[in-house]
Amino acid sequence: MAYQRPDIGKVENDFNELLARFNAAKSALEQTDILARINELKNEFSTYASIASVRNSIDTTNAFYETEQEFFDTNEPVIKDLYIRFYKALGSSKFKDELQQKFGNQLFKLADVSLKTFDTSIIEDLKEENKLGTQYTKLVASAEVEFNGEKMTLPALSAFMESTDRDTRKRAYIANQGFFAGHEKEFDEIYDKLVKVRTSIAHKLGYKNFVELAYYRMARTDYNDAMVEGFRNNVLKYVVPLAQKLRERQRKRIGLDKLKAYDLAHNFNSGNPKPKGTPAEIVANGQKMYSELSTETKEFFDFMVSNDLMDLENKKGKASGGYCTMFAKYKSPFIFANFNGTVGDVDVLTHEAGHAFQCFESRNFQVEEYYWPTMESCEIHSMSMEHLTYPWMELFFGNDTDKYKFVHLSSNILFLPYGVAVDEFQHIVYENPDMTPAERKKTWLEVDKKYRPWMDYDGIDYLERGGFWQRQGHIYRSPFYYIDYCLAQLCAFQFWSKSRKDFNGAWSDYLRLCKAGGSDSFLGLVKLANIHSPFEPNVFEPLFGEIEGYLNSVDDMKM
Ligand SMILES: [Zn+2]
């Protein structure tokens, strides 16, 4: 794929010209044609932005793509302003009814909701918000801690935090939190400024506080904070007790008197399940799995492999983490990861591939807004794929397959209380923007105690004072995003449950969902997928009853 830096002046001119023609158009047909041209222009621009960002993450030492990345970061507000003007034109089109017939309502809902989040008066505040977010990322990325007489990064340290030797994992845990405690004042300051600037943006746009604006920013058009509160209450009622039982089983299994914070990542004295084979063998097994799963997944995965659309191996200079993105002009998804020999490698082939598969199935929509849905819906595709591929886990884990499934299901259960705690914490913070850093930490402790009553920080001062949340990047960089994982998990569990009774039925529901892409809102997509909304009060009890029944049927003491 050839890269060239877009000429911003030309993009602006072309866009403005198309916009003028759109506004002056004499028929819906004419507007539809111009809309297609606008879409091409957006695809062209986003493709170059993706290429620059992907190449920058594959080799962070490459100065050329670093400069290109900066170019896109700097020009983001200019482009955002153009897109907003297009949405305004779309919303006030004389032919709105006909366009709605053709493209569906969701495009207009998305246009409407993004207008609620932007005004030129907040551009300087947005830059400030971005700058603070980058400051946080840089601070965490700079982390180096002493461990076993060596200097190491936090990702390198995390392997020791899962050690089967209690002393090792305790020391690693203390070293890890030591970094955050050592920079507590900076973490406090960055967050305090973020809360204030977001609150100021919300006030300028006419909102009481940042919460409502945050929901619009996430393009949530069919649920509100009261519904999310109801969801959290159900997690408290139905999931927290089950999670507590799982922690108790874990304690017995690894033979301790009391589980401390640093024991939680240690699941089995025999070690965590590990995928077998080299990265190339793991990918080959992935290809086998997707060729057996369905004709659609076979076509998708063969496309990814034959077009070299995955960069999976850990290399020097490569950025950490994993993601899925798209080169829209080429209708191609792309997967980035760092294989390291753990369960995470298989998660890439299920979770990230789930995202990529949906994108592949939605690649022919006429508007780019429908290539992906909103975030909570995106996570349904990825998380459900993790469950729908259970029948093939033997390929990766052999004799450890039951152990893998047990850990996977239990860790998904254990995630939910933490996920809603992060969400509740943010609601309280932004509803009370004048709290001091110490008051925020006290708030975290209260929320944490409610949802994770098993948490024992073993006298580590910074954590006992409520500093745990400062390691969670989403709280700084993507406010109110975290609940999306929880909502999607409730949907993914339903796919798990269905697939046990009727695999083909579950698969066809899943496929329909992926093909719908972003053409509907969250609750619309949930309905289309033939599953219950996670906001329905009676979803939790039977679903978690079934999961508990399964987990109880497993003899984990032998694992
Ligand atoms: Zn994901």
**Terminal Cα-to-Cα distance of the chain (whole angstroms):** 47
What is the CA(107)–ligand 1 centre distance, in A? Answer: 23
* Model confidence, pTM: 0.95
What is the CA(431)–ligand 1 centre distance, in A? Answer: 28
What is the CA(137)–ligand 1 centre distance, in A? Answer: 19
* Secondary structure string (H, E, C) spanning 67-100: HHHHHHHHHHHHHHHHHHHHHHHHHCCCCHHHHH
3-state secondary structure (DSSP) of residue 259: coil
What is the CA(364)–ligand 1 centre distance, in A? Answer: 22
What is the CA(344)–ligand 1 centre distance, in A? Answer: 13
Instruction: Tell me the one-letter amino acid at 397.
Output: F
What is the CA(167)–ligand 1 centre distance, in A? Answer: 33
> Near ion ligand 1, which residues have CB within 5 Å?
382
Question: What's 325's DSSP letter?
Answer: E
What is the CA(478)–ligand 1 centre distance, in A? Answer: 14
What is the CA(287)–ligand 1 centre distance, in A? Answer: 20
What is the CA(457)–ligand 1 centre distance, in A? Answer: 29
User: With b meaning 16 or more CB within 10 Å and e meaning fewer, what string describes 503-526?
Assistant: eeebbebbbebbebbbbbbbbbbb
What is the CA(485)–ligand 1 centre distance, in A? Answer: 8
Under 8 Å between Cβ of 218 and 374: yes
What is the CA(436)–ligand 1 centre distance, in A? Answer: 33
In tens digits, the chain (559 residues) has pLDDT values of 999 999 999 999 999 999 999 999 999 999 999 999 999 999 999 999 999 999 999 998 899 999 998 899 888 878 888 999 999 999 999 999 999 999 999 999 999 999 999 988 898 898 899 889 888 988 988 888 999 999 988 888 988 998 999 999 999 999 999 999 999 999 999 999 999 999 999 999 999 999 999 999 999 999 999 999 999 999 999 999 999 999 999 999 999 999 999 999 999 999 889 999 999 999 999 999 999 999 999 999 999 999 999 999 888 888 878 899 999 999 999 999 989 888 989 999 999 999 999 999 999 999 999 999 999 999 999 999 999 999 999 999 999 999 999 999 999 999 999 999 999 999 999 999 999 999 999 999 999 999 999 999 999 999 999 999 999 999 999 999 999 999 999 999 999 999 999 999 999 999 999 999 999 999 999 999 999 999 998 999 999 999 999 999 999 999 8
